[in-house]
């Protein structure tokens, strides 16, 4: 089942961003979502699409993001225009670099300085309706999460009664934009504003009626298969042991300063952050082999109750801003590896910018999961 809404394509449409110092089209475009939806609609035997969105309000978002950051996202554009900023949207002028800030007590005062405090790059343009769009993506993701939890309970029951084996776990997909995995608790960047996957994971952990017999919250394993490291999800959960965060990503690409295998979590979270940096020349066979090993060595031993996938297909060989050597034949295999975990799974859309092949690549991964 696919959860989406028209608002994902009508809101948050910046004209441009900056890549390698040059003004370029905004790659995180509404056309991406249209392309995926078109594919899913033509394969309606596999996919049921719903536009039902429940409103979970502010609280689940506040559990993950800081209030001053949320206030900033909500008001930045209006202030920006008042201060004479370009109508394309808010981008920072200076970013409080640690090499500078450790020498002073930088505190953002005007909008230009706030833009730097709350954003770490030039690929997260805040427009008039960006906060609404990000809010909408988070609410869609939460709607799917709540339904997955219901399906998960049914699945557990049928496992307990012996009615089925762990071979057909339920799976749901949140087809949303803007994406989320680069958004930290109080910094946007990399096309991401609110961290949809983190909000979903925290919501499951917070449900009082979802505590197991031992009184412990349900355990979540996040599997991030986007080409880029999910610095946001890593930061949000760095010092907790639930969720487990695992990521396979390019070793020497954006966001550049996170994603090393040495980043393993801290305190109670030590050992619950797993980064697998990969070479640019990673093929389908390489990718699936490494993913299977990640699942076997880290995800299975964790014994998660739920899996949440940060579903990026910018690993694709022809992606315009990223890409390994992964082909359209690779994605069903990746989906199949995830299915074999045998756990109720929520897929949440992250990156992927080769619009012509987004449908078959995303749809292929989901079909691989369905088996
Ligand atoms: N030379 C996501 O996939 N700029 N974000 C990349 C590469 C921003 C990617 C520059 C990429 C953000 C969700
Ligand atoms: Zn990405």
Reported as a single tens digit per residue, the pLDDT across 20-70 is 889 999 999 999 999 999 999 999 899 999 999 999 999 999 999 999 999
Query: How far is the centre of ligand 2, averaged over its atoms, from the C-alpha of 312 (Å)?
Result: 6
* Cis bond upstream, residue 39 (ω within 30): no
Return the pLDDT at 234.
98
Protein residue whose Cα sits closest to atom 5 of ligand 1 = 190
Do residues 331 and 290 lie in contact, with contact meaning Cβ atoms separated by under 8 Å? Answer: no
Return the pLDDT at 204.
98
Give me the chain's average pLDDT, please.
Answer: 95
- CATH homologous superfamily for the domain 2-55+130-370: Histone deacetylase domain (3.40.800.20)
Q: Which long-range contacts does 77-84 make (Cβ < 8 Å, 24+ apart)?
A: 77/126, 77/127, 77/128, 77/130, 78/128, 79/111, 80/111, 80/115, 80/126, 83/110, 83/111, 83/112
Do residues 222 and 249 lie in contact, with contact meaning Cβ atoms separated by under 8 Å? Answer: no
Q: Tell the burial category of 3 from Cβ atoms under 10 Å away from its Cβ (0-12, 13-18, 19+).
A: buried
Do residues 172 and 151 lie in contact, with contact meaning Cβ atoms separated by under 8 Å? Answer: yes
Query: How far is the centre of ligand 2, averaged over its atoms, from the C-alpha of 351 (Å)?
Result: 4
Q: Which DSSP symbol is given to 321?
A: S
Protein residue whose Cα sits closest to atom 3 of ligand 1 = 351
Which ligand 1 atom minimizes the distance to the CA of 20?
Answer: 1
* Cis bond upstream, residue 278 (ω within 30): no
Element (H, E) at 173: strand 171-174
Nearest to 243 by CA among 295, 205, 292, 193: 205
Provide, rounded to the nearest whole percent, the portion of the chain with pLDDT above 70. 99
Domain locations along the chain: 2-55+130-370
* Residue 204 CB neighbour total at 10 angstroms: 24
Determine if ligand 1 sits within 6 Å of the CB of residue 351.
yes
**Cα–Cα distance measured from residue 178 to residue 192, given in angstroms and rounded to the nearest whole number:** 6
Residue of 226, 234, 321, 361 with the most ligand 1 atoms within 8 Å of its CB, for mutation: 321
Which ligand 1 atom minimizes the distance to the CA of 321?
Answer: 7
Determine if ligand 1 sits within 6 Å of the CB of residue 17.
no
Nearest to 59 by CA among 206, 182, 183: 206
Query: How far is the centre of ligand 2, averaged over its atoms, from the C-alpha of 314 (Å)?
Result: 6
The mean pLDDT of 272-293, rounded to a whole number, is 98
Q: Which ligand is nearest to the CA of 226?
A: 2
Determine if ligand 1 sits within 6 Å of the CB of residue 254.
yes
Query: How far is the centre of ligand 1, averaged over its atoms, from the C-alpha of 132 (Å)?
Result: 22
Which residues, in sequence order, are bridge partners of residue 245?
222, 273
User: Does residue 356 register a pLDDT over 70?
Assistant: yes
Determine if ligand 1 sits within 6 Å of the CB of residue 226.
yes
Do residues 200 and 348 lie in contact, with contact meaning Cβ atoms separated by under 8 Å? Answer: yes
The residues assigned a catalytic role are 182
**Cα–Cα distance measured from residue 78 to residue 65, given in angstroms and rounded to the nearest whole number:** 21
The mean pLDDT of 257-263, rounded to a whole number, is 97
Element (H, E) at 310: strand 306-311
Residue of 119, 228, 257 with the most ligand 1 atoms within 8 Å of its CB, for mutation: 228
Q: Of 85-99, 166-180, 238-252, 315-329, which gets the smallest average pLDDT?
A: 85-99
Q: Which two tokens stand for residue 183?
A: 């958004």
Do residues 234 and 260 lie in contact, with contact meaning Cβ atoms separated by under 8 Å? Answer: no
Which ligand 1 atom minimizes the distance to the CA of 227?
Answer: 3
Which ligand 1 atom minimizes the distance to the CA of 352?
Answer: 3
Determine if ligand 1 sits within 6 Å of the CB of residue 19.
yes
Confidence grade of residue 212 (pLDDT, cut at 50, 70, 90): low
Return the pLDDT at 106.
65
User: Does residue 13 register a pLDDT over 90?
Assistant: yes
Return the pLDDT at 109.
81
Provide, rounded to the nearest whole percent, the portion of the chain with pLDDT above 90. 89
The mean pLDDT of 207-227, rounded to a whole number, is 88
Do residues 364 and 331 lie in contact, with contact meaning Cβ atoms separated by under 8 Å? Answer: yes
Confidence grade of residue 162 (pLDDT, cut at 50, 70, 90): confident
Measured at the alpha carbon of residue 190, what is the angle toward residues 187 and 193, in degrees to the nearest 5? 45
């Amino acid at each position: 089942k696919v959860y989406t809404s028209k608002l994902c394509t009508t809101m948050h449409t910046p004209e441009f961003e900056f890549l390698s110092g040059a003004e370029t089209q905004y790659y995180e475009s509404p056309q991406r979502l249209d392309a995926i939806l078109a594919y899913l609609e033509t394969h309606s035997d596999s996919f049921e699409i719903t536009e039902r969105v429940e409103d979970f309000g502010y609280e689940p978002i506040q559990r993950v993001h800081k209030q001053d950051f949320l206030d900033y996202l909500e008001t930045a554009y209006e202030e920006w225009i008042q201060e004479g900023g370009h109508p394309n949207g808010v981008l920072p002028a200076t970013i409080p670099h640690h090499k500078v800030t450790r020498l002073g007590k930088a505190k953002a005062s005007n909008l230009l300085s706030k833009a730097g405090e709350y954003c770490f790059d030039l690929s997260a343009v805040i427009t008039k309706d960006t906060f609404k769009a990000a809010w909408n993506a988070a609410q869609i993701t939460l709607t799917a999460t709540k339904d997955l939890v219901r399906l998960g309970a049914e699945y557990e029951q049928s496992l307990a009664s012996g009615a089925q084996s762990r071979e057909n776990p339920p799976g749901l997909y949140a087809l949303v934009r803007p994406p989320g995995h680069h958004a930290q608790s109080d910094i946007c960047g990399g096309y991401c504003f609110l961290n949809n996957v983190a909000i979903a994971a925290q919501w499951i952990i917070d449900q009082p009626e979802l505590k197991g017999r031992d009184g412990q919250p349900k355990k979540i394993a996040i599997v991030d298969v986007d080409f880029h490291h999910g610095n946001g999800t890593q930061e949000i959960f760095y010092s907790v042991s639930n969720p487990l965060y695992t990521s396979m990503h390019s070793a020497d690409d954006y966001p550049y300063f996170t994603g090393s295998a040495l980043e393993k979590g801290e305190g109670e979270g030590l050992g619950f952050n797993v980064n697998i940096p990969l070479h640019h020349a990673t093929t389908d066979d390489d990718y699936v082999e490494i993913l299977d090993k990640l699942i076997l060595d880290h995800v299975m031993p964790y014994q998660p109750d739920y899996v949440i996938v940060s579903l990026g297909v910018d690993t694709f060989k022809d992606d315009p801003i990223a890409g390994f050597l992964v082909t359209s034949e690779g994605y069903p295999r990746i989906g199949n590896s995830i299915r074999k975990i045998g756990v109720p799974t929520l897929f949440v859309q992250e990156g992927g910018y080769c619009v012509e092949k987004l449908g078959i690549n995303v749809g292929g991964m989901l079909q691989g999961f369905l088996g």
